[in-house]
Amino acid sequence: MKTEKQYFDEAISLADYMDRMEKHKENSFGIYEKFDVPQDDAFIEIAKTEKPNILVITEDWCGDAMMNNPILRRIAEAADLDVRTVYRDEDTDLIDRYLTNGGRSIPIYLLLDKEGEVLAKWGPRAASIQEDVMERRKQLPPKDAPDFADKQRAFIDELMKEYTTQPELWLTVYEDIRNTFMPALQQTK
């Protein structure tokens, strides 16, 4: 069984991943171009000092990855971090170690020390966004209802519109990543 470090060593950069995207490339780059990391943030400073690696488990078709990955890329650029990406569906062994409520939800971000040990895990969504999505999902009809597919499509379309047009959601993602990774980085000092 491969270690997280082995996956990281064999992975492609997040920038290369985004360049290869097909389904959500335009939306993902739209967020990337508009999001700026908050200035004078202690998180970025400690990340610059500690130099962790980040392993991303993702897929191009995922709307959450479409929003979250460009934010992580901006963090990596601000702190000069090495962030690499593996495709969830090419090798499910890795994602099966990091299930979310029993599912293979993505993206998952693994904060690694230089030896490849996992210091922290983030994903697939910021906690407050997850709560909102789950509340809104309760409004969908049962899966066997004749209008389920149409209602679910409309729900996803609405989420995608919000994900690509609401900078406050991007900042929420940033803060959630920060709040997850910062304590792990502080412990390495």
Share of the chain above pLDDT 70, in %: 99
pTM of the model: 0.94
69-107 residues labelled b (16+ CB within 10 A) or e (exposed): bbbbbbbbebbebebbbbbbeeeeebbeebeeeeebbbb
Q: In the predicted model, what is the mean pLDDT of residues 96-109?
A: 93
- Which pLDDT band holds residue 73 (cuts at 50, 70, 90)? very high
Q: Domain extents for the chain?
A: 4-126+167-187
Residue type, 138: K
How far apart are alpha carbons 82 and 80 in whole angstroms? 7
- Write out pLDDT tens, residues 164-187: 999 999 999 999 999 999 999 988
Q: What is the average pLDDT score of the chain?
A: 94
Q: What is the pLDDT of residue 147?
A: 95
For the 4-126+167-187 domain, the top CATH level (class) is alpha beta
- Which pLDDT band holds residue 189 (cuts at 50, 70, 90)? low
Q: Of the candidates 100, 122, 103, 102, which has an alpha carbon nearest to the alpha carbon of residue 111?
A: 122
How far apart are alpha carbons 63 and 3 in whole angstroms? 27
Three-class DSSP category at 2: coil
Residue type, 90: E
